[in-house]
Structure formats: structure tokens, C-alpha cells
Structure 1
Amino acid sequence: MPNRQWFFASGNTQQGPYSQDQLRDFIARGAVRADTRVWTEGMSDWQRAGDIPGLLSGGSAAPAMPPASARESEPLARGTEPIGAPLSVDLNIWGLLGRTLIFVIGFLLVLPAPWVATSFYGWLISRVRVPQRPNLSFTGQPTDIWWVFVLLALCAYSGLTDIPYIGIILIPVQAWLSWMTIKWVVANISANGQPLRLSFRGEALHYIGWFVLLNLSFITIIGWAWVTTAMTRWMFRNIDGTRREIIFNASGLEVLWRTVVVAIGCILIIPIPWVLGWIARWYVSQVALAPRTA
């Protein structure tokens, strides 16, 4: 029954519905074991997965789950490949290029930075497609944390001063301002006109530590890709307000070679719109929703 939908119990939470292929992935990765309770249409009650003939063996299909009422509890999946419910983004390459240029120019001019940043985040978030969370939008206003964006823009001019080591001194400051921005963005995401009430609980000192490590990793030439991947996973793990866990599936090697391709495309100038769209879609596709584990 390839169109069957399955649910499984994770702690005290019901997860699903999942398709047959998705449940196979959960079984392969150990999220669903022989003692995990599962249910699908046609079953009178929940049963242990190991008691269902063919479910855990490689043969017959291990499907997904039933009623639509539980879909809100579907979470995110772990691993190096997207499983469960991957995100996607609907981007027009010329729209992305134009807004990116406006974003950069706005920060160079400093004062427009809060407005161009808010506009960019609102445009980008509205184009992200999250399973069972339709019509995402961004409710943040330019005046909410305008001083954060102004200070970030001013930090970009630190290299033009004669103050020794000012760029290094400002790294923790930039990290703290970036942390403030992430908290603000996460707290202002809505779906279908209703606030999602999300929050970023990662501590400022931890974020600053990651930021400093990222800057130091550039000394290794390629190590920054692995630090970026680990830092991104840490950030997603620290988003609260949803019963689903947010997973970043990309590996450091994937981040590295794709970034090199983008850098080459930007040097050649003409491919810029295409490589920007390509890397943006890929990054979003590496974010997935999976069941939270204790």
C-alpha cells in the first residue's frame, strides 16, 4: 500500500504522517526501532514496529502515517541527506540579485541599513516554503533594532581607519550585533498571518565563541566550511517554539565546493545571478524538519 500514511511515537509525542519512503529513512537511521510504537490506517491500535511483519525487514515497504490532525507535530530529520520534510525557496534570480545589491548599497550608505535589511528579510522569508506552515511572512519593523544595523554598517568601515587592530577588536562586537539580529528575525516570523512565537535561545557568549572560531578558521584556508556547518546546526537546534526540530543536513565538504563555485562565478561576473540563486536554493533545501529526540 504505497500511499499509506504512518505515525510513530517519539517519547510522549505523536509524529507524522510520513510516507512509506520517509518511514524507511527513519528506520534506517534508527529513529524508528523494533520497540517503537507505530500506527497506520487499518490498524485497531498502536503496535510495536518489530511486531508488524515486513516493516523492519528490507523487503516490503515501510510506509507513512494517518490522520491530518497530527501533522502539526511533524518535526525535522537528522543526517547528511534531507529526510522528513525539507524546506524549499521560490526565488527569482533577478529579484535576488537586485535585492542583494540594494542590501549591500544600503549598508554602505549606513543610514538606510535598517530599512534595506528589513525589506530583504521580509522578501526572502515570504518565499521560503515550510511543510504545513503556509504563507510565511516577516513582521519586523526597521525601527525595532535600527541601531544594530547602523552599528553593523559602521563596522564595515573599520578597515579604513588608522586604529591598530580595530578589525580584530570589533569581531566580538559584530558577533553580538549579529546575535541580536538573529533573535529579532526569528521572533518576527509568522505563518498565515499568525505569529509563530519562535525564539532563539542560543546564548550571546556561545554565539560570539562560534563567530570568533569562524574568523580564526579562515587561517586554515578551508576549515571555515566545517565551522560554518557546525555553527549553523547549533543555531537551528537553538530555535524554540515549535514541536519540530530544525536540522541542517549539509556537510562541510558540500559547503566548501559550492562556495568555491560561487566565488568563481562572481569573478566571471556574468554568472552571478545564476550562482547566487543556485547557492541560496541549495542552502534552504538543506534545512529539514524532523521529530525531536529527547
Structure 2
Amino acid sequence: MPGRSWFVAAGDKQEGPYSEDEFRDLITRGNIRPDTYVWADGMQDWQYAGDIPGLLSPGRAPPLIPRPGASAPSANGDQSGGSLSIEISIWEMLGRALVFLIGFLLIIPAPWVAASFYGWIISRIHVPQRGYLGFTGNPLDIWYVFIGLALLTYVGGVTDIPYLSYLLFPLQAYLSWLTVRWVVANITAEGQPLQLSFDGSPWIYIGWYLLLALSFITIIGWAWVLTAWMRWTCSNIAGTRRAISFNATGLETLWRTLVFSIGSVLIIPIPWVMGWYTRWYVSQFSASERLS
């Protein structure tokens, strides 16, 4: 429909109206991505730009140039892949994060606040061509894991045993590995279990956990360790026909995490930097066609 007006959702704000030519110019400049919410006259509801047939077709948007190591788009124009995105309110994010923290400090509520938090945040994640995800994890599935993780937060602060926190570090890593397996196994889409599994070795996972802790000695090396760890984690998610990848670089992880940390220290910017960082982090995960 020529001459219609377009609106774009940018964070918690609405931008527009844009004329058809202005909107096409935004697409050409890369300001409109597949995970951008848009609306125009005649549409019943807001939609992701990537879900509107023909909107981002070749000739209207610049070609996608994959990062080094990322999967290239298929030659036949298959658009079965793309970056994940998340729709969250910064205030709800802050509130749920505080409940999560308080629940772990109180220990007993830890399984319930953890399951609630994971279920909420996963339900806000959108996967291209699949829609929003869901979560079916029950707090009692692995209640002992969350109780153990909560108890470990007190180790070192309430005991005089030298180096006890370091000795229990592998146990904390193992409990984290169990959490990842539980979360991945309970992800759903369109109300149906995806039957995913995390097949990464617990010993390698513990190794990554220890390496990350040691990398803080280098001041900045942890960012590259973290990105490599995320790529390893994604490569060990099985049960999906599409490959899951983590595309951020170490440098991107470094400066964005530093900005998030500084904003958190200043307290007042916490809701905004938390929402900004979470949206960016989720967008670094993508699902693309597996290369045979």
C-alpha cells in the first residue's frame, strides 16, 4: 500500500510516523533489522520486520555479511535462521532480578524464584520463524541444586576454614552445569517441548568455570574466555535442526560489560543498563541452518 505511514518500536519508545520512502531508507541503512518491531496502516498488530513477507527481501536491504566463524546464509535464500531477540520492560526486569537475589539470600525460596525467573525471561525470547519460547521447568525438579547454590553464596563469609570457598568452587561449577541442562531440557515453542538437551561434558564445563575465574587475573582476558565458553555451550546443544551460535566478540563483551558494571555501581542507571545489556546479550545468539 503506497503512501502508508510506518512506526518503529525502539526499546520502550515508539518512533514515527515515517513515510514509505523514509522507512525504506531506514531499511537500506540497516536501522530496521529482522528483530525490529514495526507497524503500518492496515496492519492488525505490531510485527517483527523479519516476519513480514517481502519487507526485507533482497534489493530492499543490504546483504547480510556474517561475522567470522558464523554460518553464512544459504544460497537459495533460506531465511530459517537469524538472531534471537527479547522483549522486556526494564522495570519488570529489575523487579524480578531483585526477587531472584532476595530468594537466593533467603535460601529456602531459591528453587521457586529461580524457576519463575527463568520461565519469565525465556518466555520473552523470540526466535525467527518460530515465535516466542516457553518454559516448563518445575521448581522441585532440581530443588537441591538451587538450595546448594544458595548455600554456597555464604561459604567463606560464615566460616573460618581457610580456602574452603576455593575447595568448593568445582562443586559450584557442577551445580551450574546441572542448571544449564535443566533449563535447556525444559524449553518449549508454540506450547510444544523442543526436546533439546545440553550434552557438554561436566568436566569440560568445570574447566571453563575455573578458567574464567583465573582469567580475571589478566584484567581483561575474561571477556574472551567468556565468549569462547558461550560458543562451546551453544555447540553442545542438541535436538534442534538449526545450529545455535554465539556471535559476540571478546572486545564487544568487554566494553559492554564494563559499561553495565559502571552503571550498576552508580545505582540510578541500573534499570536502563540492565535492559540494554540483556537485549544485546540475547541478540548475540542466533539459530541458523546447519551446514552439512
SS at match of 2:128: coil
1:103 counterpart = 2:103? no
Shift of 1:133: 1.8
Alignment of 1:44-55 (within 5 A): none
1:177 counterpart = 2:175? yes
2:122–2:135 CA contact under 8 A, matched in 1:
yes
Using the alignment, how far apart are the partners of 1:30 and 1:251 within structure 2?
11
String of CA shifts for 1:147-169, please: whole Å, max 9, x gaps.
00000000000121111111111
Using the alignment, how far apart are the partners of 1:234 and 1:293 within structure 2?
17
TM-score (norm 2): 0.75
SS at match of 1:284: helix
Which of residues 192, 195, 220 in structure 2 aligns to 1:194?
A: 192
Shift of 1:30: 9.9
Which of residues 238, 250, 270 in structure 2 aligns to 1:252?
A: 250
Shift of 1:192: 1.0
Using the alignment, how far apart are the partners of 1:143 and 1:24 within structure 2?
44
Corresponding residue for 1:121?
118
Relative to 1, partners in 2 of residues 1:101 and 1:137: Cα closer, same or farther, differing over 3 Å? same
Task: Supply the AA of the counterpart residue of 2:150.
Answer: A
Alignment of 1:156-235 (within 5 A): 156-160=153-157, 161-235=159-233
1:25 counterpart = 2:71? no
Corresponding residue for 1:146?
143
Shift of 1:203: 0.7
Task: Supply the AA of the counterpart residue of 1:198.
Answer: L
Corresponding residue for 1:134?
131
Any gaps of 5 or more consecutive residues in structure 2? 1-53
Relative to 1, partners in 2 of residues 1:183 and 1:269: Cα closer, same or farther, differing over 3 Å? same
Shift of 1:293: 2.6
SS at match of 1:135: strand
Considering only aligned residues, what root-mean-square deviation do their CA atoms show, in Å?
2.5
String of CA shifts for 1:164-200, please: whole Å, max 9, x gaps.
1111111110110000000000000011110000000
Which of residues 259, 262, 270 in structure 2 aligns to 1:261?
A: 259
